[in-house]
C-alpha cells in the first residue's frame, strides 16, 4: 500500500509519465540575504489519468511545488516534464484551479464556462458549455453571476470551465478549503463522479488527510521544509471508500505519522507544526 521515498529516482516507474517532476529544488533569498530552502530533491511521476493528492506539514511548500509543476514559478534546480516536454510556463493545455477561486465576477455561469472556447464555432461552443454546466449540476443557473451563487456552486463553475477547455492535466490547490464541512463532502463526491467520466490527470494539493485518501489513487507525502517526498501511499481501496475500514484507518495513521501527527498521544511534532 505504500512506497518509500525514492531519493534521486522517480517515485513511480509504471511507464511514460504524463507529469514528471525531476530533482526539483527551490530556494528563496530572505530580505536579510539568507537562503530559505523550501524544496529539495523532489521526484514524482504521475501517470495518464491518475488522481494524485499531495499532503504534508503546514508550510512545507505544497503550493510552491504545485506552482512549479504548473509553470507559474521556476525551480532553482531540476525540471518538470508534461508528456515528455519540459515546462517553461503556464499552458492552456494544463488548467490550474487556485485556492482563492478565479471565476470572473462580471461574467455569467455560461460565459465563465465558455471562457477560452473562442476557437470553437458558436453552435459547438454552446453545446460544450451546456454539457459541462449540466455535468456539474448547475442547470438553471446559466444566466446567474458568481455573486448570486454559493461557494460550492462557484467551485462547480471552475471545474466546468476547466473541463470545457479539455486540458491534459488539471492542477488543484486546496480548491475546497474555504467551503463548509458538508459542502466540502458534496464537492468531493461530485469531483470523483466527474473525474471517473473524463479520467483527466489531476494533481490535488490538500491539508486534509481524509480528503486525500477519499480522492486519490496515490497520496504523495512531503516532509517538513525543506520538503522532499517522504512517502508515497497507493490507495488501492474501492470507491466510495469506507473511512471506518481497517485498511483506510491504517493508511490514515501511516500518513499522519509520516507528517508528525500522533493520534495516539494527541501531540503534533514541531515538524508538522511548521
Q: What CATH number is given to the structural domain containing 257? A: 3.40.50.300
Residue 141 lies in a domain: no
Residue 144 lies in a domain: no
- What is the mean pLDDT of the segment spanning 237-261? 93
Residue 162 lies in a domain: no
The structural domain count of the chain equals 1
pLDDT of 193 higher than 50: yes
Residues of the chain by 3-state class (helix, strand, coil), percent to 5: 30, 25, 45
Show Cβ contacts of residue 176 under 8 Å, excluding neighbours closer than 6 positions. Answer: 155, 183, 184, 187, 188, 206, 211
Residue 16: per-residue pLDDT: 79
Residue 156 lies in a domain: no
**178 exposure class (CB count in 10 Å sphere: 0-12, 13-18, 19+):** middle
Residue 222 lies in a domain: yes
Residue 88: per-residue pLDDT: 94
Is the whole-model pTM more than 0.85?
A: yes
Is 229:44 a contact under the CB 8 Å cutoff? Answer: yes
Residue 179 lies in a domain: yes
- Of the pLDDT bands very low, low, confident and very high (cuts 50, 70, 90), residue 36 is very high
Name the residue range of residue 34's domain.
2-93+167-273
Residue 7: per-residue pLDDT: 42
Instruction: Tell me the residue ranges of DSSP E strands in the chain.
Output: 2-4, 19-29, 35-46, 51-55, 77-82, 85-86, 94-97, 169-173, 201-205, 218-222, 229-234
Residue 151 lies in a domain: no
Amino acid at each position: 500500500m505504500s512506497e518509500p521515498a525514492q531519493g534521486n529516482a522517480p517515485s513511480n516507474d509504471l511507464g511514460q509519465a504524463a507529469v514528471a517532476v525531476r530533482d526539483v529544488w527551490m530556494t528563496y533569498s530572505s530580505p536579510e540575504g539568507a537562503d530559505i530552502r523550501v524544496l529539495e530533491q523532489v521526484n514524482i511521476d504521475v501517470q495518464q489519468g491518475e488522481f494524485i493528492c499531495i499532503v504534508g506539514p503546514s508550510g512545507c511548500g505544497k503550493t510552491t511545488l504545485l506552482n512549479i509543476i504548473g509553470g507559474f514559478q521556476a525551480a532553482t534546480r531540476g525540471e518538470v516534464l508534461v508528456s515528455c516536454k519540459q515546462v517553461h510556463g503556464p499552458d492552456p493545455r494544463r488548467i490550474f484551479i487556485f485556492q482563492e477561486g478565479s471565476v470572473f465576477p462580471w461574467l455569467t455561469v455560461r460565459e465563465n464556462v465558455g471562457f477560452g472556447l473562442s476557437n470553437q464555432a458558436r453552435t459547438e461552443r454552446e453545446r460544450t458549455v451546456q454539457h459541462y454546466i449540466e455535468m456539474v449540476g448547475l442547470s438553471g443557473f446559466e444566466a446567474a453571476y458568481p455573486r448570486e451563487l454559493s461557494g460550492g456552486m462557484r467551485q462547480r463553475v471552475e471545474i466546468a470551465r476547466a473541463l470545457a477547455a479539455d486540458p491534459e492535466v488539471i492542477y488543484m490547490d486546496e480548491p475546497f478549503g474555504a467551503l463548509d464541512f458538508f459542502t466540502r463532502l458534496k464537492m468531493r463526491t461530485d469531483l470523483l463522479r466527474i473525474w471517473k467520466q473524463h479520467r483527466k490527470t489531476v494533481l490535488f494539493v490538500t491539508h486534509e488527510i481524509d480528503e486525500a485518501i477519499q480522492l486519490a489513487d496515490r497520496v504523495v507525502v512531503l516532509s517538513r521544509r525543506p520538503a522532499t517526498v517522504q512517502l508515497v501511499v497507493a490507495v488501492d481501496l474501492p470507491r466510495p471508500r469506507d473511512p471506518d475500514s481497517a485498511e483506510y484507518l491504517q493508511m490514515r495513521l501511516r500518513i499522519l505519522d509520516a507528517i508528525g501527527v500522533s493520534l495516539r498521544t494527541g501531540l503534533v511534532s514541531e515538524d508538522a507544526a511548521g
